[in-house]
Structure 1
């Protein structure tokens, strides 16, 4: 596919190894994939919540320009999107339902900015069916303008695992919506079981107070020798963490999809995850994924104790994970969907322009 330049507005930390996130990985992979299909993609990094800079970036796009904008910066700058809605062909890439994330953090819901931003878009792309359904249920976007482009995975070597299954791993910014406190609470009831360890990989700067509370909870539960807060790992260091893991745990309170779950299964690593948001889509029915209620350390602990104590179940679980590696979607799928949406938005705008010129 060829066509006009795609002006892709993304968070300014997209290439910062200390601010790695599933959304940033997704944005980079989509940009690379669109370029591979022949599109000219102009990445425009914009600081989050800096509405004046978003407005400035949009003003620099020529009339009828195609804009793909990450929802993380689109929602705070909703007024700027509305002001440019008629002039530009705007497509919002909604990694999450922003109001759902605010509820997970502080129990409040704020939808007006999100509704304004999404209504200003010619199309909305979500990364899960769950996100699409949530946007529709909250009347944040019209159903016929929402496409779903789930994250893909890369072919990666299988993680060998160990006979004891003692190495646990969780990956994600240390923040309330990722639920590391729930995991620590669950692990606090497992000190009678020998040998296991758990790496908590992810930024400690996303919510410093929560990270400090999590560190204190680890110390108070006498888990300091078993549970390590590693901070951000990327590149070969993150690959090494996955390669050495026996089980990936995703205890999130809020999750639009669950890229960590998909990445684990792509490596043949079994998963225990909260049944929340789009996580069931990331597991995609694989018997190698076990779902537990969100925010329930007792339910999580029960699965983890069985994992450590039942060698036969553990071996069967691992075998299922290895089998599921061949069923994971590639990045070509979401790239193709987004390329089609961008093409349709451009074609509709061109047709409308021709009709207006003919009428004039």
Structure 2
């Protein structure tokens, strides 16, 4: 058996703040353990992505526990902004950094903060023994940003799930995302407000604790912000949906897309970064959803209007979603890919 030290954000198991990145970390750790790795976790709480002295000290203490030559998988959120800690330790360890989202690409940063995070991330990743991205689009972005070569890709998996039972009119809309500027809920609310007298309802599932979230206004009175959901509660949200809507401004992959497709639920989403990869095609080459430009409420309205008013389109997208459902890969495939990457760093 091989020891693997994994450095995770401190909130990795916080049910009040579920995220795709945390879910990815958890699923990979679980499956690597099942495959015979001795996984030693180090959860580092602190002020990410702008680590203060205490946060850097905690990260340094976690890495100091790893013996010389040890193999370390670091979540990028807990490592990329602290090159002063990671780079020196990289001289005695074998660190592999898993990047869920380039730090400087987070929506809402000032240009100065974005530049600072990008510079810190570049220093960290150049010192690492390996870099992993969660989509081909993200790998290309990291290569472009930091002049890297050989960025590996390990796409998220998805758990099998029963197919949802659609309603005739397709009126049950679902958005699963933390309510932050990057996820584009303001675009969604704007788009829904333009649908006029059409029949629909929309549930937004995700943590909504930020000041930005509290300032959002629903002009229709038909949007429910349900808060975070995990496990059986989240599965029930997907099971009751006709259409997933993901209006993100940036999205390295979009795990909620494949989670919807695992239930044969079609998707309307922004064509941001890795989302087209997640959406994919069915075996006939048909797309199981509609893609629109990020940050374009008029385009999102047009796509939703088509979904709600064109029965033939709903039929075709549902058939494509059912076909795509059969092609999805599970988390064991992701873990095998991570295993291959880790073994290549020896």
TM range (shorter): over 0.9
Residue from 250, 256, 261 that aligns with 2:252: 256
Aligned equivalents of 2:56, 2:326: Cα separation in 1: 43
C-alpha distance in structure 2 between counterparts of 1:241 and 1:234, whole Å: 10
Match of 2:212 in 1: 210
Structure 1 CA distance for aligned equivalents of residues 27 and 185 of structure 2: 27
Instruction: Specify the SS of the correspondent of 1:105.
Output: coil
Tell me the distance in 1 between the aligned counterparts of 2:332 and 2:229. Answer: 26
Aligned to 2:130: 123
Q: Does 1:106 align with 2:112?
A: no
Whether 2:272 is the aligned partner of 1:276: answer yes
Who is 2:339 aligned against?
339
Name the structure 2 match of 1:353: none
Question: Is residue 160 from structure 1 mapped to residue 162 from structure 2 by the alignment?
Answer: no
Distance 1:138 1:323 in 2: 36
Distance between the aligned counterparts of 2:110 and 2:298, measured in 1?
Answer: 23
Of 144, 148, 151, which aligns to 1:137? 144
Q: Whose Rg is larger?
A: 1
Q: TM-score normalised to the size of structure 2?
A: 0.93
User: TM-score with structure 1 length normalisation?
Assistant: 0.90
Which of 174, 177, 190 lines up with 2:195 in the alignment?
190
CA distance in 1, matches of 2:342, 2:320: 37
Residue in 2 that maps onto 1:314: 314
Distance 1:319 1:344 in 2: 40
Alignment correspondent of 1:330: 330
Q: Which runs of 5+ in 2 are unaligned?
A: none
Preserved contact between residue 168 and residue 246 of structure 1 (Cα < 8 Å): yes
Aligned length: 331
1:250-282 per-position Cα deviation (integer Å, ceiling 9, x unaligned) = 000010011011111111000001011111110
| TM-superposition CA deviations, 1:223-275 (whole Å, max 9, x none) | 22x10011101111111100000000000001001101111111100000101
Distance in structure 2 (CA, Å) of the matches to 1:310 and 1:239: 27
Provide the C-alpha distance between the structure 1 equivalents of 2:83 and 2:196, rounded to a whole number of angstroms.
49
Moved over 3 A (4+): none
Structure 1: give runs of 5+ residues left out of the alignment: 347-360
Q: Distance in 1 between matches of 2:9 and 2:301?
A: 36
Distance in 2 (alpha carbons) for counterparts of 1:119 and 1:106: 23
Native 8 Å contact 2:281 2:324 kept in 1: no
> Which protein has the bigger helix share?
1
